Chains A and B, each alone.
Chain A
Amino acid sequence: MLITCPYCGPRDVIEFTYQGDGNRERPQPASQNLDAWNAYVYDRLNPAGDHNEIWQHSGGCRSHLRVVRNTVTHEILSTSFARGGHKTESRS
Chain B
Amino acid sequence: MSPRRTETGGRIDRLRTIRFTFDGAPYTGHAGDTLASALLANGVTLFGRSFKYHRPRGLLAAGVEEPNALVTVLRGEVREPNIPATMVEIYDGLVAVSQNRTPSLAWDIGALNQLGGKLLSAGFYYKTFMGPVIGPLKGTRFWMFCEHFIRRAAGLGKAGVAPDTSRYERMNAFCDVLVVGSGPAGLMAAKAAADQGARVILADLEAHFGGSANWSGETIDGMLAADWAQRMVAQLGGNDNVRLLPRTTVWGYYDGNTLAALERVTDHKEVAAKGEPRQRYWAIRAGTVVLATGSFERPLVFPGNDRPGVMLAHAAQRYAVEYGVLPGQRIALFTNNDSAYRSAAALKKAGAAVVAIIDVRGDISNEMRRLASDAEAELLAGHAVIATEGGKALTGLKVQRFDAMSGALSGDERSIHADSLLMSGGWSPTIHLASQAGAKAEWDPARQAFLPPKPTQRWIGAGAFTGSFSSAEAIAEGRAAGLQAAGGAASSAPLPVVEAVPGDPDPAPVFEIKAKGKSFVDFQHDVTAEDVRLAHREGFVSVEHLKRYTTLGMATDQGKNSNVPGLAIMAEALGKPIPEVGTTRFRPPYTAVSIGSLAAERFGDLKPERLTPMHDWHIANGATMYSAGLWFRPMIYGLAGETVEQAYVREAKATRESAGIVDVSTLGKIAVQGPDAAEFLDRVYTNMFSTLAVGKARYGLMLREDGLAFDDGTTWRLGEQEFLMTTTTANAGKVMQHLEYFLDVIWPELKVTVTSVTDEWAGAAIGGPNARAILASCVTGTAVDNAALPFMGIVHGRIAGVPVMICRLSFSGEMAFEVYSGAGYGNHVWEALIEAGKPFGLVPYGLEALGTMRIEKGHVTGAEIDGRTTARDLHLDWMLSKKKPFIGSAMMDREGLIAPDRLELVGLIALDNRPLNGGGHIVEELDEANPHDSLGHITACCYSPALGKYIALALVKGGKARHGTRAFVSDPLRNRFGPVEIVSNHFYDPDGSRMHG
Interface residues of A (CB under 8 A from B): 1-2, 12-13, 17, 19, 26-27, 29-32, 34, 37-38, 40-42, 54, 56, 58, 62-64, 73-74, 82-84, 92
Which residues of B sit under 8 angstroms from A31, Cβ to Cβ? 890
Q: Are A1 and B256 CB-contacts (below 8 A) given A30-B885, A58-B737?
A: yes
Q: Are A34 and B890 CB-contacts (below 8 A) given A1-B255, A29-B885?
A: yes
The reply on B456 being an interface residue by CB < 8 A is: yes
Which residues of B sit under 8 angstroms from A13, Cβ to Cβ? 255-256
Q: Are A74 and B255 CB-contacts (below 8 A) given A19-B741, A37-B891, A83-B748?
A: yes
Q: Are A2 and B741 CB-contacts (below 8 A) given A29-B683, A92-B256?
A: no
Q: Are A63 and B744 CB-contacts (below 8 A) given A17-B737, A31-B890, A58-B737?
A: yes
Which chain A residue has the least Cβ–Cβ distance from B740?
Answer: A62
Complexed CA–CA distance, A74 and B746 (Å): 26
B740 touches A2 (CB 8 A): no
B885 touches A19 (CB 8 A): no
Which 6 residue pairs spanning A and B have beta carbons closest together? A2-B256, A83-B748, A64-B744, A29-B885, A1-B255, A74-B255
CB distance from A30 to the nearest CB of B (A): 5
A64: contacting residue among B706, B741, B894, CB under 8 A = B741
B748 touches A84 (CB 8 A): yes
Which chain A residue has the least Cβ–Cβ distance from B704?
Answer: A41
Which residues of A sit under 8 angstroms from B894, Cβ to Cβ? 34
Which residues of B sit under 8 angstroms from A40, Cβ to Cβ? 705
CB distance from B882 to the nearest CB of A (A): 12
Produce 1/0 per residue, B628-644, CB < 8 A to A: 00000000000000000
B748 touches A2 (CB 8 A): no
- Using a CB-CB cutoff of 8 Å, which residues 690-740 of chain B contact chain A? 705-706, 737, 740
Complexed CA–CA distance, A76 and B746 (Å): 23
* Residue from A29, A38, A41, A84 with most neighbouring chain B CB atoms (10 Å): A29
Q: Are A56 and B740 CB-contacts (below 8 A) given A34-B894, A92-B255?
A: yes
Complexed CA–CA distance, A56 and B456 (Å): 27
The reply on B745 being an interface residue by CB < 8 A is: yes
Q: How many A-B residue pairs have CB under 8 A?
A: 59
A41 touches B891 (CB 8 A): yes
Which residues of B sit under 8 angstroms from A56, Cβ to Cβ? 737, 740-741, 744
The reply on B438 being an interface residue by CB < 8 A is: yes
Which residues of A sit under 8 angstroms from B653, Cβ to Cβ? none
Complexed CA–CA distance, A17 and B256 (Å): 17
User: With A34-B890, A56-B737 given, can you name 15 additional A-B contacts, CB distance below 8 Å?
Assistant: A1-B256, A12-B256, A12-B258, A19-B741, A30-B885, A34-B894, A54-B741, A54-B745, A56-B744, A64-B740, A64-B744, A73-B438, A82-B744, A82-B748, A84-B748
The reply on B383 being an interface residue by CB < 8 A is: no
Complexed CA–CA distance, A13 and B256 (Å): 10
Complexed CA–CA distance, A83 and B742 (Å): 11
Which chain B residue has the least Cβ–Cβ distance from A76?
Answer: B256
* Residue from B256, B741, B891 with most neighbouring chain A CB atoms (10 Å): B256
Which residues of B sit under 8 angstroms from A63, Cβ to Cβ? 744
Complexed CA–CA distance, A41 and B745 (Å): 15
Which chain B residue has the least Cβ–Cβ distance from A81?
Answer: B744
Which residues of B sit under 8 angstroms from A41, Cβ to Cβ? 705-706, 891
Produce 1/0 per residue, B730-774, CB < 8 A to A: 000000010011001110100000000000000000000000000
CB distance from A68 to the nearest CB of B (A): 15
Which residues of B sit under 8 angstroms from A84, Cβ to Cβ? 748
B890: contacting residue among A32, A74, A92, CB under 8 A = A32
The reply on B285 being an interface residue by CB < 8 A is: yes
A2 touches B744 (CB 8 A): no
Complexed CA–CA distance, A74 and B256 (Å): 9
Complexed CA–CA distance, A45 and B254 (Å): 26
Complexed CA–CA distance, A13 and B886 (Å): 33
Is the contact region of chain B dominated by helix, strand, or loop, or is it mixed? mixed
Which chain B residue has the least Cβ–Cβ distance from A33?
Answer: B890
Interface residues of B (CB under 8 A from A): 254-256, 258, 285, 438, 456, 683, 705-706, 737, 740-741, 744-746, 748, 885-886, 890-891, 894
B745 touches A2 (CB 8 A): no
Complexed CA–CA distance, A88 and B886 (Å): 34
CB distance from A78 to the nearest CB of B (A): 15
Which residues of B sit under 8 angstroms from A26, Cβ to Cβ? 746
Which residues of A sit under 8 angstroms from B706, Cβ to Cβ? 41-42
Which chain A residue has the least Cβ–Cβ distance from B754?
Answer: A62
* Residue from B254, B456, B705, B744 with most neighbouring chain A CB atoms (10 Å): B744
Complexed CA–CA distance, A82 and B804 (Å): 38
Which residues of A sit under 8 angstroms from B890, Cβ to Cβ? 27, 31-32, 34, 37
Which residues of A sit under 8 angstroms from B744, Cβ to Cβ? 56, 63-64, 82-83
Complexed CA–CA distance, A58 and B737 (Å): 8
Which chain A residue has the least Cβ–Cβ distance from B886?
Answer: A29
B745 touches A64 (CB 8 A): yes
CB distance from B257 to the nearest CB of A (A): 8
Complexed CA–CA distance, A64 and B255 (Å): 22
Complexed CA–CA distance, A63 and B743 (Å): 10
Complexed CA–CA distance, A31 and B890 (Å): 7
Complexed CA–CA distance, A19 and B746 (Å): 12
Complexed CA–CA distance, A2 and B885 (Å): 39
A2: contacting residue among B285, B456, B737, B891, CB under 8 A = B285
Complexed CA–CA distance, A40 and B285 (Å): 38
Which residues of B sit under 8 angstroms from A30, Cβ to Cβ? 885
Complexed CA–CA distance, A41 and B683 (Å): 17
A82 touches B256 (CB 8 A): no
The 14 listed contacts between A and B (C-beta, < 8 Å) are A1-B255, A2-B258, A13-B256, A19-B745, A34-B890, A40-B705, A41-B891, A42-B706, A56-B737, A58-B737, A62-B740, A64-B744, A73-B438, A83-B745
CB distance from B835 to the nearest CB of A (A): 40
Complexed CA–CA distance, A38 and B886 (Å): 16
CB distance from B42 to the nearest CB of A (A): 48
Complexed CA–CA distance, A66 and B741 (Å): 12
CB distance from B560 to the nearest CB of A (A): 27
CB distance from B808 to the nearest CB of A (A): 33
Which residues of A sit under 8 angstroms from B745, Cβ to Cβ? 19, 54, 64, 82-83
CB distance from A65 to the nearest CB of B (A): 9
Which chain A residue has the least Cβ–Cβ distance from B172?
Answer: A12
Which residues of B sit under 8 angstroms from A2, Cβ to Cβ? 255-256, 258, 285
CB distance from A8 to the nearest CB of B (A): 15
CB distance from A58 to the nearest CB of B (A): 7
CB distance from B378 to the nearest CB of A (A): 55
Complexed CA–CA distance, A1 and B456 (Å): 14
CB distance from B995 to the nearest CB of A (A): 34
Which residues of A sit under 8 angstroms from B891, Cβ to Cβ? 34, 37-38, 41
Which residues of A sit under 8 angstroms from B705, Cβ to Cβ? 40-41
Which residues of A sit under 8 angstroms from B258, Cβ to Cβ? 2, 12
Which chain B residue has the least Cβ–Cβ distance from A36?
Answer: B890
Which residues of A sit under 8 angstroms from B456, Cβ to Cβ? 73
* Residue from B255, B456, B705 with most neighbouring chain A CB atoms (10 Å): B255
Which residues of B sit under 8 angstroms from A1, Cβ to Cβ? 254-256
Which residues of A sit under 8 angstroms from B683, Cβ to Cβ? 29
Which chain B residue has the least Cβ–Cβ distance from A34?
Answer: B890
Which chain B residue has the least Cβ–Cβ distance from A29?
Answer: B885
CB distance from B587 to the nearest CB of A (A): 15
Which chain A residue has the least Cβ–Cβ distance from B891?
Answer: A37
Which residues of B sit under 8 angstroms from A82, Cβ to Cβ? 744-745, 748
Which residues of B sit under 8 angstroms from A12, Cβ to Cβ? 256, 258
Which chain A residue has the least Cβ–Cβ distance from B748?
Answer: A83
Which residues of B sit under 8 angstroms from A92, Cβ to Cβ? 255-256
Which residues of A sit under 8 angstroms from B255, Cβ to Cβ? 1-2, 13, 74, 92
Complexed CA–CA distance, A89 and B683 (Å): 35
Which chain A residue has the least Cβ–Cβ distance from B756?
Answer: A62
Complexed CA–CA distance, A92 and B256 (Å): 5
CB distance from A23 to the nearest CB of B (A): 12
CB distance from A6 to the nearest CB of B (A): 13
Complexed CA–CA distance, A39 and B39 (Å): 69
Complexed CA–CA distance, A30 and B890 (Å): 8
* Residue from B254, B438, B745 with most neighbouring chain A CB atoms (10 Å): B745
